[in-house]
Amino acid sequence: MNIGEKFKNSKTVFSVEFFPPKTEEGARQILRTAKKLKELSPDYASITYGAGGSTRERTLEYGELLRDIFDFEIMPHLTCFGHSREDIEAILCRFESSGFENIMALRGDPPKGSSEFVPHPNGFKHANELVAYIRSRFPRFGIGCAGYPEKHPEAVSIDADIDNLKRKVDAGADFIVTQMFFENSHFFNFVEKCRAAGIDKPVIAGILPALSLKQVMNFKSMCSTEIPDALLKKLGEASESDGAKVGLDWAMAQIEELKSKKVPGIHLYILNRAESAVRLSHVIRGK
């Protein structure tokens, strides 16, 4: 089913994001987590595509595994980086023949070490081109795209970034999943601006239950996400083992407020860990 349909229901859609593991221990971890999350029946789960197209095979392999063994509705991510149109066509054919019905369409980031996104000479420069391609060649796919409540780091302004987001929606994206944020007002302002710009698709709040001060500082430098002083202080004062509890409480408060404002969906960046997701799923589902 097109995941976009799920947001038409009045209940908050609960989704989680996995990444394909690179090690044997990582493989055991994702399976342990999937087993625990299966009982929560998330409305869907997405699986990332590695920077620089580095997990092409593993995105498919783990996407199939999570779907076939644990019965998750899986949305694989796909990025443009390093791919020609022919590559993209071949990957989409494989996703389609494997039975996936939704794609998260992204431009992608360059691999570690290079700072600039250089499109493939016969590929796509921006995600709106990928969305348009999927919509015209694989019209049955539901399509998700990325939104940035605090603007994409390369964008000159939030308004310019929202104009570019509208290009993705106009090209055929069915819903928007946001970058993580720790301050809800950024999300609410973003949704307001989207609506003013004529973007009428569901905007799904991306929430990361933080684990430690070091981790959030990494995300701050990668994604330019604001870390509120109160969260910084609490994480700074927490012992190594208490960081996850601080992050969980913070995410819980965020989710309660988001739910009170009737967000259509909450997407948890679980980093292949189950503990916080289990607790947060109860808040999202109101149980």
Ligand X SMILES: Cc1cc2nc3c(=O)[nH]c(=O)nc-3n(C[C@H](O)[C@H](O)[C@H](O)COP(=O)(O)OP(=O)(O)OC[C@H]3O[C@@H](n4cnc5c(N)ncnc54)[C@H](O)[C@@H]3O)c2cc1C
Residues that bind ligand X in the complex, under the rule CB under 6 A: 48-49, 51, 77, 79, 106-109, 126-128, 146, 152, 154-155, 161, 164, 167-168, 177, 179, 206
Catalytic residue among 5, 17, 25, 256: 17
Phi, psi for 256 (deg, rounded to 5): -60, -45
Cα–Cα distance between 266 and 178 in angstroms, integer?
A: 10
Measured from the CB of residue 128, what is the shortest distance to ligand X in angstroms? 5
Residue 173 CB, shortest distance to ligand X, in Å, is 10
User: Is position 17 annotated as part of the catalytic site?
Assistant: yes
Closer residue to ligand X (CB): 128 or 281: 128
User: Which residues, listed in sequence order, are joined to residue 204 by a DSSP beta bridge?
Assistant: 177
Q: How far is CA 119 from the centre of its chain?
A: 22
Q: Which is nearer to ligand X, 155 or 238 (CB)?
A: 155
**Closer residue to ligand X in complex, CB, 177/216:** 177
What is the rounded CA–CA span in Å between residue 247 and residue 81?
Answer: 32
The number of C-alpha atoms within 13 Å of 137 and in the hemisphere containing its C-beta is 15
Nearer to ligand X among residue 127 and residue 266 (C-beta): 127
Q: Please, what is the end-to-end C-alpha distance for the chain in angstroms?
A: 26
Joined tokens for residue 177 = 């999943």
User: Hey, is 86 helix, strand or coil?
Assistant: helix
Quote the least distance from Cβ 272 to ligand X, whole Å. Answer: 13
Residue 22: partners with Cβ closer than 8 Å, 6 or more residues away: 55, 58
- Nearest approach, Cβ of 48 to ligand X (angstroms)? 3
Question: What tokens does 154 get?
Answer: 């390369």
Q: Which is nearer to ligand X, 125 or 233 (CB)?
A: 125
In the bound state with ligand X, the residue whose beta carbon lies nearer, of 127 and 246, is 127
Q: How far is the CB of 88 from ligand X (least distance, A)?
A: 14
Q: Count Cβ atoms below 10 Å from residue 230 Cβ, excluding itself.
A: 11
Specify which residues 78 forms β-bridges with: 105
The type of residue at 235 is L
Name, in order, each residue with C-beta under 8 angstroms of 278's C-beta and a sequence gap of 6 or more.
36, 37, 40
Min separation Cβ 152 and ligand X, Å = 4
For residue 142, give the amino acid letter: G
The answer to whether 284 and 257 have CB atoms below 8 angstroms apart is: no
Instruction: Please answer whether residues 17 and 72 qualify as being in contact, where contact means their C-beta atoms are separated by less than 8 angstroms.
Output: no
What residues act catalytically? 17
